[in-house]
């Protein structure tokens, strides 16, 4: 998330709104956001309802075998259509801001 925060001006310049989502509650997310210095929204989905809609649930992969979300990045257009997605199985593998910006630029051509 820090890398996206560092490139937030580049996303803003393209009209891209960066939003993160987690299974953690708002009480957990707020201090995490503050610790990372993130200014974009970090939404809470403790029942994993949205996470399930995007087929991102990684059942039992969290602490104490709790359910978490698989890492993913999406570019969603104003109509709600997913135009690009990066999905991984490992929480250590995520798209870098440059990858997302390049994908956006390719879509806009």
Main-chain dihedrals φ then ψ at residue 20, nearest 5 degrees? -115, 155
Give the domain CATH number at 18: 3.40.30.10
Q: How much is the pTM?
A: 0.85
* Residue ranges making up the domain that contains 48: 2-108
For residues 76 and 83, give the distance between their C-alpha atoms in angstroms, rounded to a whole number.
6
> pLDDT at position 38, please?
94
Cβ–Cβ contacts within 10 Å for residue 99, how many? 13
pLDDT digits (tens, 9 = 90+) for 75-108: 999 999 999 999 887 767 788 999 999 999 999 8
Total number of domains constituting the chain = 1
For residues 8 and 6, give the distance between their C-alpha atoms in angstroms, rounded to a whole number.
6
């Amino acid at each position: 998330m820090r890398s996206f925060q560092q490139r937030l001006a580049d996303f803003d310049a393209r009209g891209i709104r960066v939003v993160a989502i987690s299974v953690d509650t708002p009480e957990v997310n707020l201090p995490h956001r503050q610790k990372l210095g993130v200014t974009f929204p970090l939404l809470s989905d403790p029942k994993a309802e949205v996470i399930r809609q995007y087929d991102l649930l990684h059942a039992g992969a969290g602490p104490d075998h709790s359910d978490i979300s698989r890492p993913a990045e999406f570019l969603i257009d104003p109509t709600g259509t997913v135009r690009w997605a990066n999905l991984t199985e490992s929480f250590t593998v995520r798209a870098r801001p440059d990858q997302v910006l390049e994908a956006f630029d390719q879509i806009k051509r």
